[in-house]
Amino acid sequence: MSTLPWLHPERVALLQRLLGERILIIDGGMGTMLQQHQLDETAFRGERFVHGHDSSHAHDHPGSCDLKGNNDLLTLTNPDIIQGVHEAYLEAGADLVETNTFNSTRISQADYHLEHLAYELNLEGARLARAACDAWEAKTPEKPRFVVGVLGPTSRTASLSPDVNDPGFRNVTFEELVSNYTESASGLIDGGADLVMVETIFDTLNAKAALFALSELFHQRGTRVPVMISGTITDRSGRTLSGQTAEAFYYSVQHARPISVGLNCALGAADLRPHVQVLSNVANSFVSTHPNAGLPNAFGEYDETPEQMASVIGGFARDGLLNMVGGCCGTTPAHIKAIADAVRDVAPRALPSATAKVA
């Protein structure tokens, strides 16, 4: 990836300069905000799917399949709600806004028989985030905002069998993942994403498929955008689902020369800290983290208040661990504002060498 010119070199230079000056703020949870709207099936379907099929496409969508819960579809059926979430996080102080595309791959959309929407969901998801960022940047040009195009992990794992009785079985191939990620990343870039983030990585082989897809796509286009990589430690064992420690995970993906490597989801900030510390010690890239608002309670909800989370994150920053920080499950604009306030006057983590910037 490193021999190709940047698609938007001035934006990359601006981002790298800002990363050298302060800790940048990533936005918070999308699902958390959407749950507050208490949307029903009608809201998810919108006018386009009101009759049980995609009125804009020849593909017949089975009317018996519920669309409620397909948060990415709201990009097309209720874009004002998604725009409102972006706006709320920008107002709270976010420098980087993630697209509403966590499940916008053919594999994940197959659960709703909406595979054909993959490219469109990513394109429009990036356009919505781009419009929100551009509007806020126009209001406050001294504070640039960046769109992070999100590539989620999909609902499949290339390293592990879903059948405990058949360890050799796989329900997805590397080639299928590459194809999915190529299509989705194309939409994100065409929609105006400044960066692409491969996030919530529980299986490093899935991540390698995404990184390979990006490398091939960049070479096809003759230009590239910066890549963020964010893994997830699935529990207090300190390992990803496919069995790697944070350090092993980093060494598995550093070849992609990402602008940042980090950790998100699964754990709250306090439980994530030792693993972020490991990344900070070994990474030649910038380091990011966007943890959950604590661990989920018995009802699957998150109890950590903005003040509690910001207090822990402030310790991360003062100890020199961070370049970018935000929130994942359970976080809201209030959490992001509190985190932004907590790290505002703290110097960012120093890169180990001048070669650490994306080359």
User: In tens digits, what is the pLDDT along the chain, a chain of 359 residues?
Assistant: 568 999 999 999 999 999 999 999 999 999 999 999 999 999 999 999 988 778 776 655 555 689 999 999 999 999 999 999 999 999 999 999 999 999 999 999 999 999 999 999 999 999 999 999 999 999 999 999 999 999 999 999 888 878 788 888 888 999 999 999 999 999 999 999 999 999 999 999 999 999 999 999 999 999 999 999 999 998 778 888 887 899 999 999 999 999 999 999 988 999 999 999 999 999 999 999 999 998 888 888 899 999 999 999 999 999 999 999 999 999 999 999 999 999 999 999 999 864 445 55
Q: What is the pLDDT of residue 354?
A: 47
Q: What is the pLDDT of residue 64?
A: 60
Three-state SS for 172-228 is CCHHHHHHHHHHHHHHHHHCCCCEEEEEEECCHHHHHHHHHHHHHHHHHHCCECCEE
Q: What is the pLDDT of residue 342?
A: 98
Asked if 188 and 152 touch (Cβ cutoff 8 Å), the reply is: no
Q: What is the pLDDT of residue 26?
A: 98
Asked if 193 and 149 touch (Cβ cutoff 8 Å), the reply is: yes
DSSP H helical ranges for 59-143: 74-77, 79-92, 106-109, 118-139
Consecutive H or E run containing 96 = strand 96-98
pTM of the model: 0.94
